[in-house]
Structure 1
Amino acid sequence: MINAKNALLSVALIMALAFSGMATAETHVIKTIGPAFNPMVVFAEPGDTITWTNMSAHDTRSINGLIPEGAEPWQSQMGQNFNITLEEEGIYLYECSPHIGLGMTGAIVVGEPNNLAELEEKVKSAHGAVQRAFRKAKQAIKARQ
Structure 2
Amino acid sequence: MIRMSLAALLTMTGLAAAAEPAATVRELNRGLVAGETFAYDPALVRVPVGGSVRFEPTDKGHNVTPIASLWPAGVPPLNVPFNSEATATFDRPGVYPVQCTPHTGLGMVALIVVGDADMDEFAAKAASAPGLTPKARAKLGVLAGAAGRS
Q: Which residues of structure 2 form unaligned runs of 5+?
A: 1-19, 30-37
What are the within-5 Å matches in structure 2 for residues 60-79 of structure 1? 60-79=64-83
Instruction: Decide which moves more: 70-79 or 127-136.
Output: 127-136
What are the within-5 Å matches in structure 2 for residues 8-47 of structure 1? 26-34=21-29, 35-47=38-50
> Under a length normalisation based on structure 2, what TM-score does the superposition of the two structures give?
0.70
For 1:90, the equivalent position in structure 2 comes to 94
For 1:135, the equivalent position in structure 2 comes to 141
Question: Which of 87, 112, 116 is the matching residue for 2:116?
Answer: 112
Identify if the C-alpha distance between structure 1 residues 69 and 26 changes in structure 2 by more than 3 Å, giving closer, same or farther: same
Identify if the C-alpha distance between structure 1 residues 75 and 116 changes in structure 2 by more than 3 Å, giving closer, same or farther: farther
Task: Quote the offset at 1:55 in angstroms.
Answer: 5.1
Q: Which residues of structure 1 form unaligned runs of 5+?
A: 1-24
> Under a length normalisation based on structure 1, what TM-score does the superposition of the two structures give?
0.72
Distance, in Å, in 2 between the alignment partners of 1:133 and 1:88 is: 24
Segments of 4+ moved more than 6 angstroms? none
Task: Quote the offset at 1:83 in angstroms.
Answer: 1.8
**AA paired with 1:135?**
G
Task: Quote the offset at 1:123 in angstroms.
Answer: 3.6
After superposition, the C-alpha distances for 1:15-62 in whole angstroms (9 at most, x for unaligned) are: xxxxxxxxxx85210012211001111011111111111252100001
Identical-residue share of aligned pairs (%)? 21
Distance, in Å, in 2 between the alignment partners of 1:26 and 1:59 is: 19
More helix by share: 1
Kindly report the root-mean-square deviation, in angstroms, between the aligned alpha carbons of the 2 structures. 2.3
Which structure has the greater CA radius of gyration? 1
**AA paired with 2:48?**
E
Instruction: Decide which moves more: 129-138 or 41-50.
Output: 129-138
Q: How many residues align?
A: 121
**AA paired with 1:50?**
V
Distance, in Å, in 2 between the alignment partners of 1:127 and 1:117 is: 20
Task: Quote the offset at 1:100 in angstroms.
Answer: 1.2
Task: Quote the offset at 1:63 in angstroms.
Answer: 1.0
**What SS does the corresponding residue of 2:84 show, helix, strand or coil?**
coil
Instruction: Decide which moves more: 100-109 or 130-139.
Output: 130-139
Contact 1:90 1:116 in 2 (8 A): no
Distance, in Å, in 2 between the alignment partners of 1:58 and 1:137 is: 20
